[in-house]
Structure 1
């Protein structure tokens, strides 16, 4: 997962959907269990996903021996810029103890959960509930077909998964050693950024489970480092919200913590002050006319206001305000706070807005009443 939200193609361009790691793991498991029972791998292998989707997957690898069978599928994320696109998702199955049902193991490149607050308890492989349910359903279908118990150990592995996981938020969430197997519906919708939203929510869950009284969401690396230094926060309190300020705050409305900080650069917090909940550039640019009007409330004269209106960027507008000794950063933070308070429960959480420049220096702040 990168620091910036990926930019989609031009509007109107057809985008191809893909398949989640969970869907690929399900198909690989079904193929491997079928081979374990029959000696033959179905290729392609068809699976049933939520919403009655029944895609078929071609096998990239297959192997059988010593009471096990393994099948692997190359993940196709469609047109989504998913870090796991092209990864090999493998499932190795073996019969389990009578009455054990379907049990899960983490192979190469699949992480282990080490912290509370995630949907899977600590000590378990990072295979989320929805993929587990899909895999259990697939095992049940094959067990019924061959009239055998569905007592199977399923080991999921992703070669290079540990390396790929460095690009995700897994290490911060306490998922060590590799990737998570994700996917609620089995389908990847291009540029829905569902994995990022999922990481934001899980980060909040981990912070709450740890009893942290304060979390800080940041729009990028500079603001994250700056807010961590400003408040002396532990890593578990840092939420990489990217451009999804609204998404983070709405989740905190129903999963509150006592204190919330939103930290970001001048342009993104200016957009928040103007009612943007997703502050990516594709959602529009900050209105410099509105910014000039806001500067007027902070004491900017007509000359300064006109310079702000004629600026090429928000950063240039801030430079004009600073040259005129106008505290525009504080004005932007107050306006952003006024808007953002509608997204949380102010009875449950105190909200703070911090504005940092490109060097990580604090240039504006505002805090709600405790």
Structure 2
């Protein structure tokens, strides 16, 4: 039997539930794929032992919050190979998460005593194919904390209803393989679908924690593959420039985005021999000014700073004055280029100095490449 329930979003609980807002932001938090998979697992295992699905189903997250999740689908299969499936629609709150609205399913099947909890990747959930991740090669991409959460809730249900807690849990995500193409998974060697993620169970809107975690996993994969040179790029254009400059394999490319600080701080603890930072001139001028978050909402191009750098590079006072009133960083660059002032190289050199300061004593050689919007190199250090 398959029934369609309500919207499948989480509600209630200490996290505030649907409609709740994060303090100081006015934004609504959401729930990780790991939390959704745990709720679906608890509902399915309960149905196996009792014949009925709890709906909504309440789980406890690592920090004590107790959200409740409505079931979007449920199915109880009789016969010698009994199983139960429950599904939850992921609600990412106000975060622009590619998995928002995805249907997360857990199918639970009883195993012989002392089998423990066995995890399987169903359709739409990836499989690990490269070393360097927190899971062994060949394992389903269900991360350690979600596994712990699912085990804990299986044990709770077993204790309450007289089960042994020995089960096979198959997690699947409808259209997960298609959604995964918009994530880091293919580059990290997670093939076939999405990862089931989450350390707290809660998605904090615009916290960027998932992106930063992907950067870290990218470094881990590169190191495990023996890469000694990685490149941190702000976008696809800078990545193409790096590929045209260095013969780097795909697993040595880090999609840094705006998170220069995340790359540098992680490499400080997990170094490689060489780091290339490549990005747009305006973004890297922010790094040159000491900003580690390059997003336009959190740091701005400082024209006065650019004028100071141009002066150091030999610009006359009249040109420096023009730079302070330029509309964009790229306009400031063009003004300097028209008079033979190497502002691009100066910005790259200062960005390199700032990167080295964050790396501290880590044995990482750094080079910086600044590009314009067309991917043309306008500065190097």
TM-score for the superposition, normalised by structure 1: 0.94
Q: After TM superposition, list the pairs within 5 Å mapping 1:111-122 onto structure 2.
A: 111-122=126-137
In 2, the alpha carbon distance for the partners of 1:13 and 1:238 equals 33
Aligned residues: 356
Q: Greater CA deviation, 340-349 or 33-42?
A: 340-349
The aligned counterpart of 2:5 is none
Shift of 1:13: 4.9
Match in the other structure for 1:97:
112
Q: 1:212 and 2:227 equivalent?
A: yes
- Mapped partners of 2:112, 2:163: distance in 1: 13
Q: 1:341 — aligned with what?
A: 356
The answer to whether the 8 Å contact 2:269/2:362 transfers is no
Match of 2:335, SS state, is helix
Pick one of 41, 44, 65 that aligns with 1:32.
Answer: 44
Partner of 1:308: 323
* CA-to-aligned-CA distance 1:31-61 (integer Å, 9 cap, x gap): 0000001110000111111111111111000
For residues 136 and 77 of structure 1, do their structure 2 counterparts lie closer, same or farther at Cα, with a shift above 3 Å needed?
A: same
How far apart, in 2, do the equivalents of 1:313 and 1:162 lie? 40
Does structure 2 retain, via aligned residues, the 8 Å contact 1:228–1:238? no
Q: For 1:361 and 1:121, how far apart are their aligned partners in 2?
A: 41
Q: 1:281 aligns with which of 293, 296, 306?
A: 296
- Unaligned runs of 5+ residues in structure 1 are 1-10
Find the aligned partners of 1:13 and 1:177 in 2 and give their Cα distance. Answer: 36
CA RMSD of aligned residues (A): 1.1
8 A Cα contact 1:64 1:70, kept in partner: yes
State the secondary structure of the residue aligned to 2:93.
coil
In 1, distance between residues paired with 2:356 and 2:129? 33
1:46 aligned to 2:58?
A: yes
Superposed CA offset, 1:221-274 (max 9, x none):
100110121111110000001000011100110011010111110000001000
Q: Distance in 1 between matches of 2:270 and 2:84?
A: 43
**Structure 2: distance between partners of 1:320 and 1:342:** 30
Q: Aligned partners of 2:94 and 2:325: how far apart in 1?
A: 38
Q: Is the deviation greater in 69-78 or in 284-293?
A: 284-293
Indicate whether 1:18 and 2:18 are aligned. Answer: no
SS of 2:297 mapped into structure 1: helix
- Per the TM alignment, residue 304 of structure 1 is displaced from its structure 2 partner at its CA by 1.7
Alignment of 1:346-365 (within 5 A): 346-365=361-380
Q: Secondary structure at the match of 1:281?
A: coil
Note if contact 2:34-2:197 (Cα within 8 Å) is conserved in structure 1: yes
1:192 and 2:202 are equivalent in the alignment: no
| Separation in structure 2 between the aligned mates of residue 220 and residue 196 of structure 1, nearest angstrom | 13
Distance 2:261 2:67 in 1: 34
Matched, 1:225 2:237: no
Structure 1: distance between partners of 2:52 and 2:25: 41
CA distance, structure 2, for counterparts of residue 36 and residue 220 of structure 1: 48
State the partner residue of 1:183.
198
Residues 199-236 of structure 1: CA deviation (Å, up to 9, x unaligned): 10000000000010000000111001101211111100
In structure 1, C-alpha distance between the alignment counterparts of 2:206 and 2:223, rounded to whole Å: 28
1:285 shift after superposition = 1.3
Runs of 4+ in structure 1 over 4 Å off? none
Residue from 312, 317, 331 that aligns with 2:346:
331
Change in CA separation of 1:120 and 1:77 when aligned onto 2, cut-off 3 Å? same
- Partners of 2:342 and 2:286 in 1: how far apart? 17
Question: Which whole-Å CA distance do the structure 1 matches of 2:339 and 2:144 have between them?
Answer: 56
Deviates more, 1:138-147 or 1:209-218: 138-147
Are the structure 2 counterparts of residues 347 and 280 from structure 1 closer, same or farther at C-alpha, using a change threshold of 3 Å?
A: closer
How far 1:152 moved relative to its partner?
0.3
Tell me the alpha carbon deviations over residues 329-353 of structure 1, each in whole angstroms, 9 at most, x when there is no partner.
1100111111111111444111111
Query: Could you list the runs of 5+ residues in structure 2 that have no partner in the other structure?
Result: 1-22
TM-fit CA distance, 1:12: 5.6
Match of 1:161 among 168, 176, 183: 176
